[in-house]
Amino acid sequence: MLKQKFCTVFLFLIITLIAAPVVLSSETPETGTDVSLSLSNLAVPEEIGKVQERFTGNTARTVIQIQDVHAQATAQQNIAAILERLCTVFGIEKAALEGAWVSTSLPKSHAIPTSREKQLLAGTLLEDDRISGPAYAAIMSPEPITLVGIEDETSYEKNRALFLDHLGKAKEIDGKLQTYGASLQESLKSTWGPELLSFGDAFGKFRETSDLGKFFPILLKTAAAQGAASSDLAQITLVRDIMALEKSFEKERLEKEIKQVIKKYKNRPWTLEELIRGGKIPSEELGLYPEIKKLTLLYKMRDQISLQDLTSQIETLTGRILGKLVRTPEENALWKKNERFYLARRILLLQATPADIKTYESEKLVLQSELANAGLSEALSLSLDFYELVKKRDEIFFDRLVNDPSLAGNVAIVTGGFHTDGLSQRFRDAGISYITITPEFGGTPMNEKIYNERMKENPNAGNGKRNRSTFPVPRSPFPASASADGQTLSELRNAIAWIDERFSEALQVLFQTKDVRKASKVFEGQTVSVSKAEKITRLVAEKRLRRSGGPGIVDISAFRESEFMTLTRSEQRETVQQLMEQAHRAEQKAMLVSSISVLQGMLSDPRSETRVKEILARGDVLALVQDVPLEEVPEILLVPRGIERFEVQNINQLLSETPKFQQIARKWPFAIMKEGYQSDRYVVLTEQPVSLILYRIIALNPNLYQAAKNPEFLKLLQDLVTEALAQEASRKAA
């Protein structure tokens, strides 16, 4: 009765080394005759997701299945990153979506030039679950991405109605499940022997987390101790061999070999795994790198994994172990009853998989009786009706993917994990190649409260405004699953039909007010007030209106170096004070890139310590090269929030070879603080306390950022900020 879901299928020892992209995503791939790569060689950078399964069929097309994790901001950010990479690197320009029944590339939103305001609004809406990862990708991707809804509206709305009916009864269902489960646990403790209890506990944790990396060694150890044979189970043997191969890697040597290989292919947009899979590295060259040769073998072994077969064989081996551990008919009966309880729990909490529904059919009579005794018959009927419609929608999705001309060829599809399992079997039966990807989401569950709220909202067809139903959102005492696999119903509800109009309107308000909260309200369909002064400021910035005034007036939102340099020193200082105030009020985060050693040297000045604390309190980010031993790092730089430390050699490596940093850099503008560092692309600040204020002023103003690349102008700006701070200190002292 295992769920066929492996959120963390394997804890590969070397995954962080082999999955990193070899170039910054913003760089242009090197041109030449060998610049393409077959989609079958796709590998996902570990920072944004994991390939869970590959299947090679007998047709020309490949479907990229991306498992959705509803109302989980990190997962949605990474889904967007995956879709953008599929588009820019592999040319996949269409994404089929659960939860929608129209097609759009969000042309108005995509056509708006990229700016920090556009990034801020899109990122805020994503974090608030107002737009999904695919919508974010369509808005922000360098190339257009068409979102194709594959729902039947009637079926979706019926499924949603059943969900809301279930939501209204969730508290009652939870209470009865807890009572039933507590009684069952007492029976287990009083009946099972110590060894069975221990194995049952490990198996139960695996059932809930799907973390095979932790459970598999326990499974093998218990099987060996009990004399349960596993040599005839090919998938079990394969996983054991993979884990043994992983342990044989010499990590330091592998790192050295990877650095040597990547130097040659640094201007290609592919990961090392893609280079190897695609045959881009000649075999004679691979022969020079013994550890990388092991990677080639590892990839081949991983490709042989079948989640369906592995699940079945884990069940088989578990059954053999139970045959050794179970001593009495009572123990055996309780094991089966416990498994039926967790099966029922997943179904009743709408966290089931297709395999669970299939298993239910074989346990139907006994389970119905047990749930009737627990007062859960009505809830079971409601849940089964819900899943009956989910399966019907599965059929609709597959039919659209196979028969809709607009989805011909290679395509991505984003659905919840329940649909992924169902579609995988249909693809296998049809001989269609597929690659299943789970986005990285940090192991945290979906935001159940936000998800339930979004499911209850009713978008007004006229303007996209959402009106909430009046009944409260119940909060489940059971934790939401941290897996992508039990997800069944998207909260999107065809929002892509009205996002395009709302986004452009909201962005205009953000430009005018610099207030992302107001912009978000406009996106939701609410009315907000924009002052005349705010409107004028925006018109001036767009050069549709010229602000009148004396020579000391400079429009901060449209900073121009040429005008600034015509001002007197006092006027320049006043303008800089306004820039400082603007940066202080802005809600957007900024980032300062430096190293531990630089800040360690600066912290002897009390002003530096104060300003580092202010940076962290504001919510900005310090991205630091870890260039001193951990035990020597100042305590203030060891805080868990706001400081990202990277074990790289220098800032160059941080910028060009660190996927996690590259992901952060896409979200937050940054400046660099490092004496002697040379860059035509980024602003480089001096190692002085004033830079701990100056970075934010510069990073949040695109025009000022360009001007500050000039060392002479940067020195002027630094002096003016120092003077402005001194004036402020004098006023406070007076």
pLDDT tens by residue, 546-605: 444 444 444 445 677 777 887 888 888 888 888 888 888 888 889 999 999 999 999 999
pLDDT score recorded for residue 458: 65
pLDDT tens for 498-529 read: 999 999 999 999 998 889 999 999 999 999 98
pLDDT score recorded for residue 195: 95
Burial classification of residue 31, based on how many CB atoms lie within 10 Å of its CB (0-12 exposed, 13-18 middle, 19 or more buried): exposed
Own/partner pairs for 465-472, CB < 8 Å, 24+ apart? 465/524, 465/525, 465/526, 466/524, 466/525, 469/164, 471/168
Distances from the Cα of 401 to the Cαs of 351, 427, 430, 640, in angstroms? 25, 10, 12, 45
pLDDT score recorded for residue 542: 56
Name beta bridge partners: 64. Answer: 412, 435
CA distance 16 to 327: 44
**Over residues 248-271, mean pLDDT:** 87
CA distance 345 to 339: 10
pLDDT score recorded for residue 451: 81
pLDDT tens for 52-91 read: 999 999 999 999 999 998 889 999 999 999 999 999 999 9
CB environment 570-588: b (16+ within 10 A), e (fewer): ebbbbbbbebbebbeebeb
Closest CA to 380 of 342, 345, 348: 348
pLDDT score recorded for residue 382: 97
Q: 561: Cβ–Cβ under 8 A, 6 or more apart, which residues?
A: 703, 707, 713
> Which pairing describes strands 49-55 and 433-439: parallel, antiparallel, or unpaired?
antiparallel
Own/partner pairs for 115-118, CB < 8 Å, 24+ apart? 115/702, 116/588, 116/669, 116/700, 116/702, 117/507, 117/510, 117/511, 118/507
- The mean-pLDDT minimum among 58-62, 207-211, 671-675, 692-696 falls in 207-211
Percent of the chain with pLDDT over 90: 58
State the alpha helices, DSSP H only, in 448-560: 448-456, 499-513, 516-523, 532-541
Tokens read off for 341: 């309880």
Tokens read off for 671: 């400046």
The DSSP letter of residue 61 is -
Q: CA dihedral in degrees (531, 536, 542, 543; nearest 10)?
A: 180
- SS3 assignment, position 50: strand
The strand ranges marked E within 180-325 are none
More confident residue, 614 or 13: 614
pLDDT score recorded for residue 11: 38
pLDDT score recorded for residue 169: 96
Residue 673 has pLDDT above 90, yes or no: yes
φ, ψ dihedrals at 598, nearest 5°: -65, -50
> Which pairing describes strands 103-104 and 146-149: parallel, antiparallel, or unpaired?
antiparallel
pLDDT score recorded for residue 406: 94
CA distance 731 to 734: 5
Across 30-39, 140-149, 491-500, 511-520, the highest mean pLDDT is recorded for: 140-149
More confident residue, 266 or 568: 568
Residue 209 CB: number of other CB atoms within 10 A? Answer: 19
pLDDT score recorded for residue 479: 40
CA distance 336 to 354: 20
pLDDT score recorded for residue 219: 96
pLDDT score recorded for residue 34: 54
Across 49-53, 376-380, 616-620, 636-640, the highest mean pLDDT is recorded for: 376-380
Distances from the Cα of 548 to the Cαs of 31, 553, 564, in angstroms? 50, 8, 16
- Helix 116-127 vs helix 73-90: angle between axes, to the nearest 10 degrees? 130
Tokens read off for 164: 């809301």
**Over residues 668-681, mean pLDDT:** 90
Give the mean pLDDT of the chain. Answer: 86
Q: 250: Cβ–Cβ under 8 A, 6 or more apart, which residues?
A: 291
Structural fold of domain 570-733: Rossmann fold (3.40.50)
Contact in structure between 464 and 498 (CB atoms under 8 Å): yes
CA pseudo-torsion sign 279, 280, 281, 282: positive
- SS3 assignment, position 12: coil
Distances from the Cα of 573 to the Cαs of 393, 504, 563, 716, in angstroms? 63, 35, 14, 10
CA distance 347 to 73: 25
Start-to-end C-alpha separation, the chain? 75
CA distance 106 to 83: 15
State the alpha helices, DSSP H only, in 475-515: 499-513
- SS3 assignment, position 169: coil
CA distance 679 to 652: 10
Q: Which residue has the tokens 């360098």?
A: 142
Closest CA to 690 of 714, 670, 659, 656: 714
Percent of the chain with pLDDT over 70: 87
Tokens read off for 242: 């993979």
**Over residues 242-254, mean pLDDT:** 93
**Helices and strands per DSSP (H, E), number in the chain:** 32, 14
Name beta bridge partners: 595. Answer: 625
CA distance 434 to 404: 18
- SS3 assignment, position 670: strand
pLDDT score recorded for residue 35: 55
Contact in structure between 660 and 21 (CB atoms under 8 Å): no
pLDDT tens for 398-447 read: 999 999 999 999 999 999 888 998 999 999 999 999 999 999 987 777 77
CA distance 542 to 8: 49
Residue 218 CB: number of other CB atoms within 10 A? Answer: 16
pLDDT score recorded for residue 541: 60
Q: Which residue type does 41 have?
A: N
Domain with CATH 3.40.50 in the chain: 570-733
